[in-house]
Structure 1
């Protein structure tokens, strides 16, 4: 989750800093300004990264938060597809793996 959050932050910063990097599509129904999309990805990246750090510290609430935030990030990356298709598909796949790992990992009380 920390890596996924970092990648989302990088994606957001690149959208905020340099709008010419991304493909501009016309008549896209979710066509926000690239700066707005950048801030969305930065905020989601920070939330995913913080939930990942909380998981390493053993917080049980971080699983639920991680699943919800990774799901929202997956939706945001789906809506981001017209701007950076390859990058968005990689982050969607990473979010799927994050959700799968959080849902199938044993709880800390089941370990011993």
Structure 2
């Protein structure tokens, strides 16, 4: 890493952190917005399929959180719409979207945990994405003017 001279003549090594946040978190916040948008679109599509074709998904065993597939479809559509709108807000830099993104990602994680018996692999992938979104939005400490 290159060293720079300070006004006092001492050499300093540049910091890897910018504006109080790591590069991962700074780039991750924009990526989190894209992930929320894509997750929302896929949740809407998943919900539409659940509503239109009740036989597409099957329940693996018995589960405490059993709803009809039509009910699950409407849950996915509703959560998906909010995810899409929040993702657009984060991408456009809206100040309200960061905290709403954390809340909606947490709701998505809980919803997909409850959806595990119907699509276990996909639910785990979405849960992991939700955890990343929450982390990246909470660790992005850039000044508001730079968001």
Tell me how far 1:98 sits from its aligned partner. Answer: 1.3
Query: Are 1:92 and 2:92 matched, yes or no?
Result: no
Q: Which has the larger radius of gyration?
A: 2
Q: Which residue matches 2:83?
A: 48
TM-score when normalising by structure 2: 0.69
Query: Are 1:12 and 2:47 matched, yes or no?
Result: yes
Would the aligned equivalents of 1:4 and 1:95 in 2 still touch at CA under 8 Å? no
Query: Are 1:78 and 2:113 matched, yes or no?
Result: yes
Length, aligned pairs only: 111
Would the aligned equivalents of 2:61 and 2:117 in 1 still touch at CA under 8 Å? no
Residues 5-43 of structure 1: CA deviation (Å, up to 9, x unaligned): 112112211211212111124542110001101110111
User: What's the secondary structure of 1:21's corresponding residue?
Assistant: coil
**Of 97, 108, 124, which residue of structure 2 is paired with 1:62?**
97
Residues 45-97 of structure 1: CA deviation (Å, up to 9, x unaligned): 11011011111222111111110011011000000000111111111111112
RMSD, matched Cα: 1.6
TM-score when normalising by structure 1: 0.89
Choose between structure 1 and 2: higher helix proportion.
1
Take 1:60 and 1:66, find their aligned partners in 2: how far apart are those partners? 11
